[in-house]
Amino acid sequence: MSLNSNRSHTAPVRGIVRGGIAVASTAALMAVLAGCSGAAPAASADGSGELTFFSWDNEEKMSPLITEFEEENPDITIKFSYAPPVQEYSDTLQKRLMAGNAADVFILGNHAEQVGGGFVKDLTGTAAAEAVSDFNRDMQTVDGKVYGISVASWGGGMLVNKDITAKVGVTEAPQTWDEFLALCAKLKDAGITPYLEAGDGISTTIMGSIGLAQADDGDADFETAVFEGDTTFSDTWTKPLERWAQLYQEGLVTKDAAALTGQQINDEFNNGRVAMVSTGSWQIGAARDALGDDANIDFWPVPGDTPGDTFWAGAASPPYAINAKAKNPVGAQKWVDFLASETGVKIFHETTGSITTTNNYTPELDPALAGMYEDVIGGRIYCTWQVWPGKNSAPLDAEFLAKVQETMLGQSDAEDITKALDTKFASLK
C-alpha cells in the first residue's frame, strides 16, 4: 500500500486509513445495497450513450474539456454534476456511493472508504495511468494498484516582491533559514512588513519545513511511522516547527497574523504592503493582475540549515476515478484517458493555470513558477493534510491549527504543538 496516498490544497484529499474493520463493514453494506438495487441495464460495448461525471471543479472549468471530448466522441454525451469542495462534495459522493447511484466518473475523495470499500475501479496499466508522473501516480496507489488519475500538482513557498526586498539589497532566495531570518530582520528595520502567513490554515512555510526534515532524514515517511506507532510527532516534527516558530519568537512577524485569512495576506501582497507571503502557485494569476505582468515577483522555496537545501509545500491534484459499478464503464475509461491525454491536459492547463505534470505535455508557466517546476514534477513537495489518516483527519487538523495559532500569538511553542498532536492521536486509536 502506498502510505502517501493523497495530497492537495483548495481541494484537499484525505489519506489512507488502515484497519480491516471499517473497510469490511463498508464493503458489506455495499453488498447489501447492491443486492437491493436490481439488475443494471447492459452497458454499450463501445461506450456510446450517456456518461455521468461528478466533479468539484465547476462547469466553467470543465466545459471546455467536455466540449472537446464530445466532439471527438460524438456518440457519448456527458451528464455533468457538481458540488463544491471539500466537505459538501465528499459527503455527497459518499452518500451516492453507498446508495449505489454515484456517477460513472468522479473525483476520488477518501481512499479508505472508497478504494477500501470496493467502489473504485483499478486503473493500473491504462493510458491515463501511464501518462501521469511517478509522484502523482504513487499518491493514488493502494496495494500496488492505481485507483486515481491526477494530472497536476500545486507548489507553494514564499511569494516574493523582489522590488521590495531589493530595498535592503536582496534579490535572490535565501540559501539557509538563518539567511531568511536575517532578511526579515533587515526589512523590519527598514520599516517594511517582511513576511505574512495566514492563521486560518497551515502555512506553506510549515509544510515545506516538515517536508525538508523528512527529506533530510533519508526521505523518511514521518506520518506513516507515527500512525504505525514507531515514532511520535514530538520526535519528528518538533525540530522543523522550532525553526518556523523563530519568526514569532524573534518578533519578525506580527502576532496579528494569527487572525488573518489567506485572502487577506494575498491582498496585502497584491497591494504592495508586504515583501513576502506564504502561499501557493495558484496565487500567481491574481498577483499579476494586481501588480502587472512585468512585476518583479518570484516564488522562493523554504530553506533549511544547509546552504541550498530547500523544499516546497505542495500536493498532487485531486484524482479522477471510475466507479467500480459504472453504468458506462467503456465510456468512463475513454473520458478518463482523455483527461490525461495531451489534448485534455493542455485544455485543463489553459483553463485553470494549473501546473500539469503528465509526461505528454509541458505547460507554459509564469516565470515566477519556473524555480519550483522540476521539484513539483519530481515530488519534492509536501502537504500535511494529504497524509493524515482518513478517519482521524478532522481532529488532528483542528488540534494542529489551534496550537499553531497559539504559537503565532506567543502562547505555545513547537514542543506544545507536537505534544498536543501526540495526545490527540493517542485518543483517536
pLDDT digit of tens for each residue in the chain (429 aa)? 332 333 333 333 323 222 222 333 333 333 333 333 444 455 678 899 999 999 999 999 999 999 999 999 999 999 999 999 877 998 899 999 999 999 999 998 777 678 878 999 999 999 999 999 999 999 899 889 999 999 999 999 999 999 999 999 999 999 999 999 999 999 999 999 999 999 999 999 999 999 999 999 876 678 778 888 899 999 999 999 999 999 999 999 999 999 999 999 999 999 999 999 999 999 999 999 999 999 999 999 999 999 989 999 999 998 999 999 999 999 999 999 999 999 999 999 999 889 999 999 999 999 999 999 999 999 999 998 776 655 567 788 899 999 999 999 999 999 999 999 999 999 987
Q: Is the Cβ–Cβ distance between 375 and 396 less than 8 Å?
A: no
Q: Is the Cβ–Cβ distance between 243 and 213 less than 8 Å?
A: no
Q: What is the pLDDT at residue 43?
A: 67
Q: What is the pLDDT at residue 10?
A: 33
d(CA 19, CA 222): 19
Residue 125 to residues 96, 119, 238, 268, 271, Cα–Cα distance (Å): 27, 19, 41, 46, 48
d(CA 303, CA 312): 9
- The torsion angles phi and psi of 402, rounded to 5 degrees, stand at -60, -45
d(CA 171, CA 164): 9
208 contacts: CB under 8 Å, gap ≥ 6: 156, 157, 301, 302, 310, 311, 312, 313, 382
**0.95 exceeded by the pTM?**
no
Supply the DSSP string of 61-128, one letter for each residue.
Answer: HHHHHHHHHHHH-TTEEEEEEE--TTHHHHHHHHHHHHHT---SEEE---HHHHTTTT-B---TTSHH
Q: What is the pLDDT at residue 11?
A: 33
**Exposed, middle or buried by CB within 10 Å (0-12, 13-18, 19+), for 119?**
buried
Q: What is the pLDDT at residue 36?
A: 39
Cell of 330: 467503456
Strands 49-55 and 76-82: parallel
Burial 170-207 (b: 16+ CB within 10 A, else e): beebbebbeebbebbebbbeeebbbbbbbbebbbbbbb
Domains belonging to the chain, first-starting first, are: 20-151+317-357 (3.40.190.10), 154-315+384-428 (3.40.190.10)
Q: How crowded is the C-beta side of 170, counted as CA atoms within 13 Å?
A: 23
72 contacts: CB under 8 Å, gap ≥ 6: 338
Task: Tell me the residue type at 222.
Answer: F
With cell 460495448, the residue in question is 45
